[in-house]
Structure formats: structure tokens, C-alpha cells
Amino acid sequence: MTGEAIELWLIDLDALGEPLAELETRDPHCPPGEIDALDGARRIARMALRRLLARSFGRPLAAQPFEAGPHGKPKLAALAGDFNVSHTFLGATSRSGATNEAKAVALIGLGRVASIGVDIEPLRTVRMDARRRAAIIAAGTAVAEGAPLPDDEEIAVIQAWARLEAWGKADGRGIGRTLSHFGIWGRGRASVVASMPSQGDELIVHDIAAAPGLLAAVALPRGVRPPSVIALPVDPVALDAILAHPAKV
């Protein structure tokens, strides 16, 4: 990883469950007891995160227990960078309302930058009143410095939501405080425009292409461009090779 280089990894949590568990059993990267408190998709994502952190920042630093940042965002002491994780289920409910077999996926972003936030969302039907839809679209457009959203309103709302999630996760404030900040939920609903980011704000949100059926966004410091998303290999040999090979620093 060079300079401010960012890595964005798409994780197929269903396919990578066994390979990552085998790697963790053979060569543990998670602090003792950490994954014991996790199950399912979050357990698999945590194993992937720890190995990607070790690949980019070195194993001793990546093996430290997480600490809580100012707004509760997990961090590693002395880490010269930042990281973030988003989970979702692809295909649980389609836009037509049909229920299908869900596939667990995660998006992991990390890099030598002060802040990074990521979010990944499945395409779906959004049940929301017109006022709130308009407010989310307006705020989502603002945090991306006016970058256009898709013409399809349903997709536009989801993409705008992903932008706001990423923006809120970058500094740990979360989606609840973000929606309150923009006056979308809670008190002060008339303050949406007044709460919009200005040209001097440090974080800019970018849409990223993740996979069919998924919408995603990443929040990064101004001037840092996002890379393409990389799918973490599900083949055990290829997976081991990538995770064992240090990123370029």
C-alpha cells in the first residue's frame, strides 16, 4: 500500500467461511477470544478484516485489540490509517418483493488515510414517504459534492442512503446522528439545507461499483480517489497467497 492508497475488498462471506476459519485455526490473527463473541457473517468478516489489516499495516499492529474512537468507531492504537466494514445480505428480497436465498457479503475499506467509511446496500424496494426520500436524496447528493444519482428514484434513494451511511461511518457518528444532522429524522427537519456539507468539509463520498445487485459508497478525505473494488478470492490457494503477501507500502 503506497502513500494514501486505499484498498476496497468485497468479501463473499458464505464462500469464505470455511477457508478463513481454516487459516485462523492454522495461523491465528485475531486476539484471543475476539471471534468467540461473534457468529455467522460478522465472525467471518472479522477474520478477513484482521488478515487484511496485517497485510497492509503489519501483523503486530493488526493483532492489537480494537479500541473505541470518539464516536465509538473501532480503531487500532498507533495505526497510521483507518479501516471500516459494512455487511449486508444480497438477494434476500428483490424489488418485486419476492424472497430469495440470501447471500452474505461484506465490503472492507482500509488505507493510510485519516478517515474512511464504507457502506454496501442490496437493491430492494424502499418504503418511505416522499418528504424523507427527497431529503435523503438531497443530503446524499451534497456529501458527494453534487455527483448525480441514478435516474431511477428507487435506486437513487438506496445509493443516497449508502452515501450517507459511508459519510457517517467515516468518523464514527453513525447513521442515526447523520440523519439527525441533516434534519432527515428527529427534530429540526427544516434544517436539511442548512446542514449540508460545504466545500471546505474534509470528507467526500464516492459511489463505487461492487457487484450486480449491490450499491456501495466510500467516504474519503478530500483529494483521495477511491480504487476499484477487489473481490477476495474464494479459492483457498489464491486466498492464502493474497493474504500472505504484504501490500506495497
pLDDT digits (tens, 9 = 90+) for 186-243: 755 544 554 556 544 789 999 999 999 999 999 999 999 999 999 999 999 999 999 9
Residues 6+ apart with CB under 8 A from 62: 29, 50, 51, 53, 54, 76
pLDDT in tens, 29-44: 999 999 998 989 999 9
Measured from the Cβ of residue 54, the count of other Cβ atoms closer than 10 Å reads: 19
pLDDT digit string, tens, across residues 154-202: 999 999 999 999 999 998 999 999 999 898 987 555 445 545 565 447 8
Q: How far is CA 22 from the centre of its chain?
A: 25
Q: What is the pLDDT of residue 248?
A: 65
Q: 90 has which bridge partners?
A: 103
pLDDT at 249 over 90: no
For the chain, the maximum distance between any two Cα atoms, rounded to a whole number of angstroms, is 56
- Among 160, 159, 156, which Cα is nearest to 136's? 160
* Domain regions of the chain by residue span: 6-244
pLDDT, tens only, 20-32: 999 999 999 999 9
Task: Give 93's strand partners.
Answer: 99
Task: Report the Cα 27 to chain-centroid distance in Å.
Answer: 26
Cell of 67: 479500541
pLDDT category of residue 69 using cuts at 50, 70 and 90: confident
Nearest CA to 222 out of 165, 157, 143, 159 is that of 143
* Main-chain dihedrals φ then ψ at residue 156, nearest 5 degrees: -60, -40
Angstrom distances, CA of residue 93 to CA of 11, 13, 100, 105, 159: 20, 18, 6, 15, 17
User: Please, which pLDDT band fits residue 88 given cuts at 50, 70 and 90?
Assistant: very high
Distances from the Cα of 126 to the Cαs of 41, 132, 135, 149, 215, in angstroms? 24, 11, 14, 16, 14
pLDDT at 194: 45
Are 107 and 10 in contact by the 8 Å Cβ rule? The answer is yes
- Cβ–Cβ under 8 Å, residues 220 and 226: yes
Q: What local confidence, expressed as pLDDT, does residue 245 receive?
A: 82
Helix or strand or coil: residue 57?
helix
Question: Do 112 and 81 touch, CB atoms closer than 8 A?
Answer: yes
- Please tell me whether residue 206 adopts helix, strand or coil conformation: strand
Model confidence pLDDT, tens digit, residues 92-119: 555 555 556 789 999 999 999 999 999 9
For residue 204, CA distances in Å to 94, 117, 147 come to 30, 10, 10
